[in-house]
Structure 1
Amino acid sequence: METLVYRFEQGQRKLGSATQLVGVVSSGNLEVLVQTVDLQLACEIEISTAATGFGAIWQAVMHDFNQRWQLADCRIAINDMGATPAVVSLRMDQAIEACLEQVK
């Protein structure tokens, strides 16, 4: 297992008090847990993955995600069992959209 942590400062979008879990950890998939916490407008993402040695790809996917959402005061935990970058992006977007639905 490998653990990767990313932090993005100066987020613009808050999710209210939403907490959301999407996905299922199984062969080739992942789960995403989104929580609202006071991080001084930052977004922290911690990834636990069974696929080691893909830090550069994870960083690119997380950077792209941050550019799309620019989240503030948000902690995201990802448990991965080898999902492709497209599935990672899909699940993360799905989790944020579900949080935004809770806020409405």
Structure 2
Amino acid sequence: MEHITLSFPATRTVSGKALAGVVGSGDMEVLFTATQGDTLTIAITTSVDNSEQRWQALFERLGALTSIPAGQMQIHDFGATPGVARIRIEQVFEEVSHA
């Protein structure tokens, strides 16, 4: 298992918590807790070694396409494809946008 920590500038604030996916489902789980501030901090636990560059690129792409909320995110990845990872992350962002 690899542990990765990333930080990205946040461009909006939201409130609440959100969960997408199910840990141990053969996919991934994303937990998000909104915070005040200007940073999104991401803690990733993944079964895919040497994947930090892939995660960095995914969040850079998300930041170019949408506004990133401030908060703490935990990702438990069990080999999800980049497409599934993006869907789960967007799901938690959408859920806290409506909180």
Q: Same fold (TM over 0.5)?
A: yes
Q: Give me the CA root mean square deviation.
A: 1.5
Aligned to 1:7: 7
| Pairing 1:24-103 to 2, within 5 Å after superposition | 24-38=22-36, 40-102=37-99
Aligned to 1:19: 17
Alpha-carbon distance between aligned partners in 2 of 1:57 and 1:72, rounded to the nearest angstrom: 20
TM-score calculated relative to the size of structure 1: 0.85
The answer for unaligned runs of 5 or more in structure 1 is none
TM-score calculated relative to the size of structure 2: 0.88
Alpha-carbon distance between aligned partners in 2 of 1:60 and 1:78, rounded to the nearest angstrom: 15
The answer for unaligned runs of 5 or more in structure 2 is none
The count of corresponding residues between Structure 1 and Structure 2 is 99
Contact 1:4 1:48 in 2 (8 A): yes
Which 4+ stretches in 1 moved above 6 angstroms? none
Alpha-carbon distance between aligned partners in 1 of 2:62 and 2:51, rounded to the nearest angstrom: 17
Percent same amino acid at aligned positions?
30
